[in-house]
Structure 1
Amino acid sequence: MLINESTCVSSSRVLLVPYSRHHVPRYHEWMKDPEIQEATASEPLTLEEEYQMQQSWRQDADKLTFITCQPIPSTSTASGEADASGSSQAASSYKIKPTEDDASGRMIGDVNLFLKLEEHGSNDPELDNAPGEVVVGELELMIAEKHLQRRGFGRASLICFLNYVVTHMDQILSEYQGHTGSMKAGGPEIIAAKRLEYFVARIAASNERSVTLFKSLGFTTVSDEPNVFGELELRKYGLEDSGELQAWMKHYGIDAYRELPYN
């Protein structure tokens, strides 16, 4: 997506930046790891293919991607100065330095949203407009640096990402609807009536850490039994304002949330 091409999300726990060309070499090294390939259901790509994929993710209207980095010093050390809104003077005045604040040594992983139209039957109790097509947001989260796993970076990354998505939902859906409307008979005026019905994460049943993480944020499993791919499907309905997200930030010690220019 283009919506975040010049924006990053800064907090006391993580820095989320647009997936850019200078991130590709490190990302390519991550994706050589067989464990990461299995966890993300990914096939290894050549470096040139990885560059092409980066361009696709930045331009495709159904994909929103951030690279997760370690927090900038002004937010990780000045969080005690945060005011009631969760921001701090140091964070608000800081100017992000691309290729420095998000250098390869500061990269941790990534977080993604994939928008898609899915068919649902009238037996889905959570959907007020079923049966029919609904817009679903599939989430993917990866903390690739193994020495930084189990330290709260994944949860902080997901919470900050969801806060960004909910805050900018209208713009995100507008970009997606323009793309979808041009591809479907019926036109954008029909697709524009859609809204994001729920977030979903499909996680390997063996990946207990990720399942536990998503459940800690109110995601529930559709079934206790994995699908044919060995994945559990977890859904989150009703995340339409930032109230719940602000509560999560407070509970998990995520301060100084700010959106900053990235250029």
Structure 2
Amino acid sequence: MRLNQHTKLVGHRAVLVPYCIHHVPNAHFAYRYHEWMKSPELLELTASEQLSLEEEYQMQQTWLKDDNKCTFIVLDAEKLNTSTETGNRKNAMVGDVNLFLNDPDDVSVGEIEIMTAESSSRRKGIASEALTAMMRYANEKLAVTKFVAKVGQNNAASRSFFQKLEFKQVSLNAVFHEVVLERLITGEERQKLLDSTSHVVIDHYDRSS
């Protein structure tokens, strides 16, 4: 999505930066994706297919131009802040968070997903902060008021993760073996989201940084 190509979201544990080809680190980003997606576990958890490196670059360009897909790369703030060399800063990349506006007739609904691929950055609150930061951004900039998460029926960890963030299970898709969870961000719920992300700074992303 072009809207967020110059935006970063800075929290205490997670820093979110855009996934855009003209940004300096992106060759590295695509390569990391390629390496991650060799993992059968991640392929199963994300319901993805393994792509070639060239296909990763093509997907990067496609997503940049698609106004219905918003993606941020998730960086581990601790690794980022303790690294001084550019190469080390790139290694702070630990996953991504995505939003899909699937219904052209109702852009207030967004399907949200998150992946923390680096095991060393799990259970540190990074995923929770990244997801809520994305929700705040989508609510403020894209007017999304309903967030939908779809997780594998047997993926108890992901289901528990979303439920801790106040998503409610609304249905079970037996065909795709998915649990569907939702969270509405209106009225008091919107204020709760703002309060929980009050420390997150929405800032300009400088591709040379």
TM-score past 0.5 threshold: yes
Count of aligned positions: 198
| Structure 2 Cα separation of the partners of residues 262 and 140 of structure 1 | 25
2:158 & 2:206 partners in 1: Cα distance? Answer: 29
Alpha-carbon deviation of 1:249? 3.7
Alignment match, 2:42: 36
Residue in 1 aligned with 2:103? 117
CA contact (8 A) 2:9 2:202 kept: yes
Counterpart secondary structure, 2:9: strand
Structure-1-length-normalised TM-score = 0.68
In the TM superposition, what is the alpha-carbon distance from 1:32 to its structure 2 partner?
A: 1.0
Question: Separation in 2 of the partners of 1:63 and 1:72?
Answer: 28
Matches within 5 A, 1:146-225: 146-170=119-143, 196=144, 198-223=146-171, 225=172
Q: Gaps spanning 5+ residues in structure 1: where?
A: 78-96, 119-132, 171-195
CA displacement 1:27-56 (0-9 Å, x = unmatched): 111111111100111111110001000111
Please give the residue correspondences for 1:10-49 in structure 2 after superposition, counting only pairs within 5 Å: 10-20=10-20, 21-22=26-27, 23-49=29-55
Task: Judge which range, 207-216 or 237-246, deviates more.
Answer: 237-246
One-letter identity of the residue aligned with 2:130: S
Offset at residue 17 of structure 1 (A)? 0.5
SS at 2:96 equivalent: strand
Q: Report the alpha carbon displacement of residue 156 of structure 1 after superposing the two structures with TM.
A: 0.9
Query: Which of 52, 64, 79 pairs up with 1:58?
Result: 64
* Contact 1:14–1:156 (CA under 8 A) maintained in structure 2: yes
Taking structure 2 as the reference length, what is the TM-score of the superposition?
Answer: 0.84
2:106 aligned with 1:134: yes
Distance in structure 2 (CA, Å) of the matches to 1:229 and 1:256: 35
**Identity over aligned residues, as a percent?**
38
**Deviation, structure 1 residue 137:** 0.6
Q: Distance in 1 between matches of 2:5 and 2:192?
A: 26
Residue range with higher mean Cα deviation, 108-117 or 148-157: 148-157
Change (3 A) 1:73 1:258: farther
For 1:112, the aligned partner's letter is N
Query: CA offset at residue 6 of structure 1?
Result: 1.1
Give, in whole Å, the separation in 2 of the partners of 1:246 and 1:101.
32
Q: Distance in 1 between matches of 2:197 and 2:13?
A: 10
Give the Å deviation of 1:247. Answer: 3.0
